[in-house]
Amino acid sequence: MRTLPAIALLRSLFDAAVAAVNPELCVPRHLPMRPDGRILAVGAGKASAMMAHAVEGAWDGPLCGLVVTRYGHAVACRSIEVVEAGHPHPDGVGLEAAERMLRLVSALGQDDVVLALISGGGSALLPCPVEGLTLADEQAVGRLLLASGAAIGEINCVRKHISRIKGGRLARAAFPAKVVTLIISDVPGDVASDVASGPTLADPTTAADALHILERYRIDVRARIVEHLRRGHDETPKPGDPGLARSEWRIIARARDALEAAAQCARKHGIEPVILGDDIQGEARDVARAHAQIAIRCAQGNGPAKLPCVLLSGGETTVTVRGNGRGGRNAEYALALALALQDYPGISALAADTDGIDGTEDNAGAIVTSDSLQRATALGIDAGEHLADNDAYSFFASLGDLVITGPTFTNVNDFRAILIEASA
């Protein structure tokens, strides 16, 4: 029988989800055998520092390396250097780290092993433009792509083809050393080559694909970028490339793991969980409206589970930015959900990013209650206007309903839970 109030229960589900994909739990059991030569740990992503820390705690031999994480996401390590750099917008610190990483792996031999610690966020943290392009070019393309509504696979396709380190190029630079890649996946469908733009994995996409993506979303980039993609003479390594012959990878944590942990937590509290999917994509507000319809059907006794129940989902929604407000995709989802539910009795929800940062703000996401709109109206706040201005952060900040966790040091992307407690 449930004893926790709705908001506390929702937060406990989120906490259980994040705990299940903590690198300290996931990394040690996947470490390679000790090599005859050296082992060099490299990595990038919001979880990379904690992954490095987990490696140090479990490794019993000499160890060195370099990982790059977002500002504020560093974890103290003894042997592996941790660098903090810009995310979601790349900066010069990340560029310097990426160039150093390429030099480090290029100095290894056949008896050596590269242990690549890869997690979401690594694309921005490892800027390394191809010859003829600049950091400013990468920054500009990234900003436009992130605001376009393009899916993460599309965004990373473009990123790979203007980079000297993404799309398998880091692994090819390390050859003939063996490369073992451990991945905490933040991409829908767990497409490993899309996580952090796959610096150590073969890339099935082409420069022509990247060019088509820019055209599809009408992204106006500098002429030299278009010309580079049109030439296509410096393609990323493809499956079967001999330079990746000694490279292997494994996904060690993913959204499904987090959702299963949340489902188990829900059962302990007498709540029936329904996992809607771990790879949901689409515009945040569109996904929210669809989920609101399912929640209302549940409340009316026509849903996929008996009450009380909770609808769980993961994946990565997108936001096409048209306004001037603040807020990431999870807060936008939550605001659109609140509007679609219209304070429906007995329904509350939490939407948050498992890395603790929703977009560029200081919150992980937001809470929706069965009186969110009523409380907003009492404060003179128009929810519809805030959604139109992509200003979900300000809306939930005014209500005191932001979810603020700080960095979680892991990242399996979006976590959403809609709790339906009683029939209408």
Decide if pLDDT at 1 tops 80.
no
Decide if pLDDT at 423 tops 90.
no
What would the mean pLDDT of 266-284 be, rounded to a whole number?
Answer: 96
What would the mean pLDDT of 138-144 be, rounded to a whole number?
Answer: 94
- pLDDT for the residue numbered 259: 98
pLDDT band at 424; cut points 50, 70, 90: low
Give me the phi and psi of 228, to 5 degrees please. Answer: -60, -45
What b/e string do you get for 38-61 counting C-beta neighbours within 10 Å, with b at 16 or more? bbbbbbbbbbbbbbbbbbbeebee
pLDDT averaged over every residue in the chain: 96
- pLDDT for the residue numbered 3: 57
Decide if pLDDT at 2 tops 60.
no
Residues 6+ apart with CB under 8 A from 232: 206, 207, 208
For residue range 383-401, what is the model confidence (pLDDT) as tens digits? 999 999 999 999 999 999 9
Q: Which domains does the chain have, with CATH numbers?
A: 6-17+256-420 (3.40.1480.10), 22-253 (3.40.50.10180)
Give me the phi and psi of 152, to 5 degrees please. Answer: -60, -35
Tokens describing residue 248:
């292997």
How far are the Cα atoms of 6, 108, 315 from residue 185, in angstroms, in the given order?
Answer: 29, 27, 10
- Note the pTM of the prediction, 2 decimals: 0.93
What would the mean pLDDT of 281-307 be, rounded to a whole number?
Answer: 95
